[in-house]
Structure 1
Amino acid sequence: MEQEIGSLTARIVDLEMRVAFQEHTIQELSDALAASRMETTVLERKLNNVMTDLKQLRGLLYADPSTEPPPPHY
């Protein structure tokens, strides 16, 4: 009986350690995902700014659509 209690205690301790490890891993993954989302947001803003600048520049360089060169696939 005492051996069974010791075995159960060891199993409970093992399970508690596994749960703690998994909680830690989940928190690390959550932090990494949050950082990735923030980086994506920053990159999206930068890309939008570049696209806006490119459209403005294209408008200045090729005010008349007939002067715009054909696309590369022609």
Structure 2
Amino acid sequence: MSTRTVTAHIPVELAEQIDAAAERLERPRGWIVKQALQNWISLEERRHQMTLEALKAADEGDFVEHDVIETWVAGLE
């Protein structure tokens, strides 16, 4: 697999947290950053997919009316 270097300026506190995690896990900093970015990308892809699904459902009229939600919430009190 080919790689590419990406540079980012991050707060010192975050860099220190990365260093601490790398030391604790006995892994290089780059491994920690790569794992974090892979997890974030996966999460964002899932959020995007869920948003598209929700917009499609709304377009198809598959949603709960606001007054129904308000009645339900009032019943929780």
TM-score tier by shorter-chain length is: 0.3 to 0.5
The normalised TM-score by structure 2 is 0.45
Greater radius of gyration (CA) = 1
The normalised TM-score by structure 1 is 0.47
Higher relative contact order (CA 8 A, sep 6+): 2
More helix by share: 1
